[in-house]
Amino acid sequence: MNGIPIILFTPLLAGVLAWVFDFKGVRETIGLIGAAVPLAYLAKLYTEVTTNPLNYSITVGGFTLHFQLSTMSWYFTAVASTVALAMAFGMVSTSRRGYEWLFALMSFTGVLGVFLSQDFISFFLLWELMTFASFMMVLRRNRHESLKYFVLSVIGAYSMLLAIGILYAKTGSFDFNTIRQALLMDVSLGTIGKGETILLFTLFLTAFGVKAGAFPLHVWAPGAYSETDQSYTSFFSGALSKAGVYGILLIYILMGYKLYAELGTFHGHLTFAYIIAWIGAITVVVASFLAVLQEDIRKLFAYSSVGQVGYILLAFGTGTSLGLMGGLFHVLSHAVFKGLFWLVTAAIILRTGKTQFKDMGGLARKMPYTFAMGLIAVLSLAGIPPMAGFASKWLIYEAAISAHMPLVAGAIFLGSGLAFAYVVRFLYGVWYGQTPSDLKDVKEAPVSLLIAMTILAIPNVLFGVAPGLVTKYLNKVLGGQVIGGTYTKLITPHGTYNALLVTVILLFGLSVAGLIYVYGARARKIAVTDTYQSGNPVTEDYNLSIRKNFYRPLAEALDFWLKYSWDRFYERLARLFEDFADWLREGFYNGNVQSYSWYLAIILLILALWGVL
């Protein structure tokens, strides 16, 4: 008996208990314990995992399910558990129902299971558990968005099921190791042809692409991320989307060599990886542009989340170990900064009840701590050294450029410029400017939410100043010295980044600037309306902050492209199906008894011709 079943099933158990004992105080305590236990156990198992992986298997209904805690799955589960703990603290403030605790923790179990599974049966089961639980979370708030999520998830699930079926038919096994060995052998045997390999690749890519929110399957994400409890979204977008990323990694592990053998290379890049890289690059650009133009705080972060996961796909797509390192690091940094963003959003929505930028403003004075946490997240997402977001982005830059993928790397530059733009929109819209009159008595977020934010803010700074903590561990995961250096200094084959020194020099620069500031004249504090207005005095009656269409010129520059939308395309497709089904229904079920008797006669005739009767 090792820790794996405890890690895996405690959240689920806690969720059920929280649902049964649905009293204020009780469900929160149970939920918190359920979310904290996996992290505690993972911390305890750290030394064991780094020496050799732990195994665990259970037999259910004739199937043996294998779970393994390897260095890789430890990394993913640890990231997910950290975010989950923060989520639980956040939910203490924002959630009022046992229902939400049940499904939030159920999806936590699902995510952990996906990372720990060693065979396709448990992988698929827990994948579906995760999808189902997150679907239930969205369903509660918004039926339409949940259906969109559901339909795309079903498409993903069927693709995966088909792919697993094909693999089982060809290799006779569900076990990851056996499949991997079989596919390696198959490179020389050639029982799986080129067509089938491509089919398998496409199916898996669809399945995992849906969850990761890769373009053009990203359309569910903005709606689903917005229409649920925002504390849960920190987990949904921070950790659950990583299951898709993990799946892409699984393609590399299981089929990488086979895909290379069948598809070959394209201008010196692995063809299949190159496809993933381009999907990632397009996702980054499209989602970031859309994020810039959003007017709703939740939509903005939802699109930004899609874009950031695009970075991870892009990094994996370089196909080099440096790229894998960058992608894996970004899994961590995206989880912590985007989780933090969603918690900040949760606090804002909890305290103001508003979600649109046009209804907010000047909250920095009302919620200083939340603002500080938001600022950390902003700096990390925008990739300001020395934050975790910079370290991982830096690795991705180096990886993409060293892999000689210039256009893909260009997408990262564009994406990071756009990231600057949308985080500033968030800062300006929510925190600065005049406060609308109905938000005059907004209070600071509740303590548990502040704790949740702090939990996620610490890694943002810690792994930013000491990125070596992560890369040294990832060296073990990838089985080699990919990145050299110390805990605070990264050395790649062509570049260096000394995070600690950058921090020290930045502090030095800040203190020089600070000295000029301190030794200057005393500053008199003035009101926000006391500004230069070309000679026109301003009163509180006029709100002069730019509330709507902040980036209007960009929308004008892009008007040609904005005419096209995958979301609208799918909606139209859905309506088309609906109309067709309506037409069918109305045509057949026309309420006329005579036509019903005709149907009966025709069916009997067909059966008779078939020889059944």
User: Which residue from 25, 51, 440, 521 is in contact with another protein, where contact means CB under 8 A?
Assistant: 521
Q: Which of residues 259-278 bind another protein (CB under 8 A)?
A: 267
User: Which residue from 1, 189, 516, 612 is in contact with another protein, where contact means CB under 8 A?
Assistant: 516
- Which one, 37 or 400, has the nearer CB to another protein? 400
Distance, in Å, from the CA atom of 5 to the CA atom of 15, rounded to the nearest integer, reads: 16
The nearest distance, CB 209 to another protein, in angstroms, is 25
The nearest distance, CB 454 to another protein, in angstroms, is 20
User: Which residue from 58, 169, 185, 501 is in contact with another protein, where contact means CB under 8 A?
Assistant: 501
Long-range contacts of 440-447 (CB under 8 A, 24+ apart): 442/351, 442/352, 442/363, 442/366, 442/367, 443/351, 443/366, 443/367, 444/351, 444/366, 444/367, 444/368, 444/369, 444/370, 445/93, 445/347, 445/350, 445/351, 445/367, 445/369, 445/370, 446/93, 446/350
- Which one, 107 or 318, has the nearer CB to another protein? 318
- Which one, 517 or 580, has the nearer CB to another protein? 517
User: Which residue from 20, 169, 512, 607 is in contact with another protein, where contact means CB under 8 A?
Assistant: 512
Spatial CA neighbour of 425 closest among 333, 303, 580: 303
If DSSP codes are grouped into helix, strand and coil, which group holds residue 509?
helix
The nearest distance, CB 138 to another protein, in angstroms, is 31
- Which one, 167 or 291, has the nearer CB to another protein? 291
Half-sphere exposure for 218 (CA within 13 Å, toward CB) = 29
User: Which residue from 1, 189, 480, 526 is in contact with another protein, where contact means CB under 8 A?
Assistant: 526
Q: Which of residues 534-553 bind another protein (CB under 8 A)?
A: 534, 544-546, 550-551, 553
- Which one, 202 or 498, has the nearer CB to another protein? 498
Q: Which of residues 100-139 bind another protein (CB under 8 A)?
A: none
User: Which residue from 24, 440, 443, 522 is in contact with another protein, where contact means CB under 8 A?
Assistant: 522
Q: Which of residues 179-218 bind another protein (CB under 8 A)?
A: none
Spatial CA neighbour of 221 closest among 277, 286, 274, 161: 286
User: Which residue from 447, 506, 581, 607 is in contact with another protein, where contact means CB under 8 A?
Assistant: 506
Stated as kind and residue range, the H or E segment containing 599 is helix 593-610
600 is written with which tokens? 């009966």
Distance, in Å, from the CA atom of 140 to the CA atom of 99, rounded to the nearest integer, reads: 9
User: Which residue from 155, 461, 554, 562 is in contact with another protein, where contact means CB under 8 A?
Assistant: 554
User: Which residue from 557, 584, 603, 608 is in contact with another protein, where contact means CB under 8 A?
Assistant: 557
Q: Which residue has the tokens 């990583």?
A: 242
Q: Which of residues 212-241 bind another protein (CB under 8 A)?
A: none
- Which one, 522 or 563, has the nearer CB to another protein? 522
Cβ contact 224:260 at 8 Å: no
The nearest distance, CB 391 to another protein, in angstroms, is 10
Q: Which of residues 426-465 bind another protein (CB under 8 A)?
A: 427-428, 431-434
User: Which residue from 57, 191, 533, 595 is in contact with another protein, where contact means CB under 8 A?
Assistant: 533
x/- letters, 283..322, toward another protein (CB under 8 A): ---------x------------------------------
- Which one, 526 or 612, has the nearer CB to another protein? 526
Distance, in Å, from the CA atom of 345 to the CA atom of 576, rounded to the nearest integer, reads: 36
Spatial CA neighbour of 465 closest among 497, 495, 428, 434: 497
User: Which residue from 21, 63, 158, 413 is in contact with another protein, where contact means CB under 8 A?
Assistant: 413
**Surface-to-core class of residue 177, CB atoms within 10 Å of its CB (0-12 exposed, 13-18 middle, 19+ buried):** middle
Distance, in Å, from the CA atom of 188 to the CA atom of 178, rounded to the nearest integer, reads: 16
Cβ contact 38:10 at 8 Å: yes
The nearest distance, CB 492 to another protein, in angstroms, is 8
What Cα–Cα distance (Å) separates residue 93 from each residue in 297, 347, 450, 594? 20, 9, 10, 61
Cβ contact 81:36 at 8 Å: no
- Applying CB under 8 A, does 370 fall inside the site for another protein? no
Of 35-43, 88-96, 467-475, 501-509: span binding another protein (CB under 8 A): 501-509
Cβ contact 465:499 at 8 Å: yes
# chain residues binding another protein, by CB under 8 A: 78
368 is written with which tokens? 């200083």
x/- letters, 471..500, toward another protein (CB under 8 A): ------------------x--x-xxxxx--
The nearest distance, CB 563 to another protein, in angstroms, is 16
x/- letters, 350..369, toward another protein (CB under 8 A): ------------x-xx----
The nearest distance, CB 515 to another protein, in angstroms, is 10
343 is written with which tokens? 């918690």
Residue 302: how many other CB atoms lie within 10 Å: 30
User: Which residue from 165, 193, 417, 479 is in contact with another protein, where contact means CB under 8 A?
Assistant: 417
Q: Which residues of 264-281 are buried (b: 16+ CB within 10 A; e: fewer)?
A: eeeeebbbbbbbbbbbbb
- Which one, 80 or 291, has the nearer CB to another protein? 291
- Applying CB under 8 A, does 43 fall inside the site for another protein? no
Of 79-87, 158-166, 275-283, 516-524: span binding another protein (CB under 8 A): 516-524
- Which one, 26 or 401, has the nearer CB to another protein? 401
The nearest distance, CB 471 to another protein, in angstroms, is 16
Q: Which of residues 322-351 bind another protein (CB under 8 A)?
A: none
Complete DSSP assignment for 54-70: EEEEEEETTEEEEEEE-
The nearest distance, CB 553 to another protein, in angstroms, is 4
Q: Which of residues 391-410 bind another protein (CB under 8 A)?
A: 394, 397-398, 401, 404, 406-407, 409-410
Distance, in Å, from the CA atom of 422 to the CA atom of 450, rounded to the nearest integer, reads: 24
- Which one, 29 or 543, has the nearer CB to another protein? 543
Q: What torsion do the CA atoms of 596, 600, 602, 604 make, to the nearest 10 degrees?
A: 180
User: Mapped to the 3 state alphabet, what secondary structure does 420-439 carry?
Assistant: HHHHHHHHHHHHCCCCCHHH
- Applying CB under 8 A, does 517 fall inside the site for another protein? yes
Q: Where are the beta strands (DSSP E) in 393-505?
A: 489-491, 496-498
- The number of angstroms, rounded, from the C-alpha of 507 to the middle of its chain's C-alpha atoms is 32
